[in-house]
Amino acid sequence: MLKSITPLKIYILFFLVFLYAPAILLPIFAFNDSAIVAFPLKGFTTEWFGVLWETEALHSAAKNSFIIAITTAILSTLLGMLAARANARYKFPMQRPMMGLIMLPMVLPEIIVGVSLLVVILQLGFDLSLWTIILGHVLICTPFCIAILSSAFMNLDQSLEEASFDLGQTRLATFWLITVPLVMPGLISSLLISFTISLDEFIIAFFLAGTEPTLPVYIWGQLRFPQRLPSLMALGTLLLAVSLVLLILAEYFRRRGARKTGTTDTGGFL
Amino acid sequence: MSKNQTHNRWRQSEAAQGLFLISPTFIFCTVLLAIPLGLVLALSFWTQNYLELDKTLTLANYQTAWGEEIYQTLMGRSLKISACVTILTVLLAYPVAYFVSFHIKPKHKAMWIFLITIPFWTSYLMRIFLWKVILGYNGVVNGSLIGAGLIEKPLSFILYNQNAVVLTLGHAWLPFAILPIFVALEKIDHSLLEAAQDLGEGPIRRFLRVTLPLSMPGVLAATVIVFIPTIGDYVTPRLVGGPNGLMISNMIELQFKKANNAPLGAALAVSAMVIVSVISLIFVWLNRKYLKAR
């Protein structure tokens, strides 16, 4: 790396500083002993984390977010698994348009997803609740799950499944005994990624939240109050830590999956 | 062959199994995406009478959306900001994708891509808010520039305007631009590069005549992936944009929520989507044509 310093490498260094600037500042301000979020730094404190512990409204928002994220992760991984499997294994009419619709939320602005769901839910006369947020989140997480699971199903050696048929197993038993264990790392990776996306999603949650806010919706409401900012930094730091652990786990399982099916890969989650 | 047998054969066919497997996901997306989008389209031709929806079809909302100055200004500004964000992100992303693809050992590539995607997963709201801290009057940038003696008074042109929106949005979308370009670069057959070199092309001409054209599909994908969704962000303009940095999505949000004029909001949303899609399609088409001609 350091053997020769080229303009490209200097650029990469500046780029990484730019990319990581907010992520590095977040914990710095979370531990800063000052009620104002600005430089110069004043000293070290864990006071702001203590404030989080005492804020009741935050706890219920966190609970809502976790319920939504867990449900979203399970539902979108299930829906993603079905679609990824169908797309990788079978040829059927209307395959491309169908997959196109399912993958559409990846390029659709989130505000459009939020607005259109809001219109339908209000037209049908349903109340906004945690479930309406879950529906929106499943919609945007499923394409990510499919992207992760597709490579797992594509790399699957079909002769293993055929061997299981030949040895007398039923279709369902083959699926549970052979296919699922082989794509398990992909499934875990997909669960973790959709959990992380849902936990952090704001735009759709803001449109579809009823009286019960999620964590990002709660944070949005608090950003107006300057005195709350240091504790929000502490909250952001905790969320960053949670996301990091989940992502490292997801990456670990995705790579293990790639090794299991005997392929080398260089791609990320997307 | 009896009818029953035909039916059974069809049930066991590839097509039937594929359709059966995909149907839950497809039905979910039809009910919660295709139908809602259709309803938004319908809504944009209706009118709101206080609490009642008047379902007579009319173009009134589109006349307002396209005719009134405030909406024209917002739409024009949003397109300009989205275009700037797209150009900025693709230009910043290309060297990074190139570096990871050509200068990193294959076994370390996955780790680099992981490193590049991590900041994208940190809390979206906090990330935008921290740009406010970085760019603010007493912020990191001004503080360090004053500390270094480069300026005397804090720079005021870096926060609460369109530059701040472009920078913050660009930062948020960088990973989405890097990944498709990286994938396209990875697919390039390195023997083509060697051939170019053997035929006497210098590194710059080789890049312009071989590497860049071959990676254009990735650049196109990055452009579309960044350009379309950025038009829909209303958080970044609200937090760092100031009064002159607001975008069309802030107006869409306002119409659907506080102003309670969902039909106008729908007309604005449909207009914005149609405009960005048409621009993207023209852009992709031009590039295809140009690249084929070579």
* pLDDT digits 0-9 by tens, A199-247: 989 999 998 988 889 999 999 998 888 888 888 888 988 888 888 888 8
Quick one: average pLDDT of A167-174?
A: 82
User: Number of Cβ pairs closer than 8 Å across A and B?
Assistant: 242
Quick one: average pLDDT of A59-66?
A: 93
Which residue carries 């048929």 as its tokens? A165
Q: Name the residue type at position B214.
A: L
Determine contact, residues A111/B232, Cβ cutoff 8 Å.
yes
- Which chain A residues are Cβ-neighbours of B166 within 8 angstroms? none
Within a domain: B145:
yes
**Residue predicted with more confidence, A71 or B208:** A71
Within a domain: B223:
yes
- Put simply, the answer to whether B123 touches A220 (Cβ < 8 Å) is no
> Considering CB atoms only, which of A22, A29, A119 is closest to B131?
A22
Q: Which residues of chain B have pLDDT under 50?
A: 1
**CATH code of the domain containing B209:** 1.10.3720.10
- Put simply, the answer to whether A15 touches B92 (Cβ < 8 Å) is yes
**CATH code of the domain containing A126:** 1.10.3720.10
Residue A113 lies in domain: 52-259
Q: Is B43 on the interface with A (CB under 8 A)?
A: yes
Q: What is the pLDDT of residues B11-45, one digit of tens each?
A: 567 888 889 999 999 999 999 999 999 999 999 99
- Put simply, the answer to whether B25 touches A83 (Cβ < 8 Å) is yes
Angle between helices B262-293 and B69-103 (to 10 degrees): 40
Question: SS3 sequence, A75-128?
Answer: HHHHHHHHHHHHHHHCCCCCHHHHHHHHHHHHCCCHHHHHHHHHHHHHHCCCCC
- The torsion angles phi and psi of B49, rounded to 5 degrees, stand at -110, 90
| A149: closest CA of chain B, how far (Å) | 14
Within a domain: B45:
no
Structure tokens at B269: 């949303």
- Put simply, the answer to whether A266 touches B106 (Cβ < 8 Å) is yes
Confidence (pLDDT) at B178? 92
Report the domain count for chain B. 1
> Considering CB atoms only, which of A20, A115, A136 is closest to B40?
A115
Within a domain: B37:
no
Report the domain count for chain A. 1
Q: How far apart are CA B228 and CA B243, in angstroms?
A: 23
| B110: closest CA of chain A, how far (Å) | 5
Mean pLDDT of all residues in chain A?
85
Within a domain: B94:
yes
- Put simply, the answer to whether A115 touches B256 (Cβ < 8 Å) is yes
| A148: closest CA of chain B, how far (Å) | 14
- Which chain B residues are Cβ-neighbours of A97 within 8 angstroms? none
Q: Is B37 on the interface with A (CB under 8 A)?
A: yes
Count other C-beta atoms under 10 Å from residue B263's C-beta.
23
Confidence (pLDDT) at B54? 80
Residue B250 lies in domain: 69-293
Within a domain: A146:
yes
Within a domain: B177:
yes
Confidence (pLDDT) at B5? 67
Q: What is the pLDDT of residues A7-59, one digit of tens each?
A: 889 999 999 999 998 888 888 888 888 777 776 777 788 888 888 888 888 89
Q: Is B274 on the interface with A (CB under 8 A)?
A: no
Q: Is B138 on the interface with A (CB under 8 A)?
A: yes
- Put simply, the answer to whether A139 touches B29 (Cβ < 8 Å) is yes
Structure tokens at A54: 């005492």
Within a domain: B54:
no
Q: Which of A111, A160, A101 is nearest to A136 (CA)?
A: A111
| B199: closest CA of chain A, how far (Å) | 25
Within a domain: B5:
no
ipTM for the predicted complex: 0.85
- Which chain A residues are Cβ-neighbours of B232 within 8 angstroms? 108-112, 203
Confidence (pLDDT) at A270? 39
Confidence (pLDDT) at A268? 42
Q: Which of the four pLDDT bands, split at 50, 70 and 90, describes residue A266?
A: very low
Total residue length of chain A: 270
Confidence (pLDDT) at A267? 43
- Which chain A residues are Cβ-neighbours of B88 within 8 angstroms? none
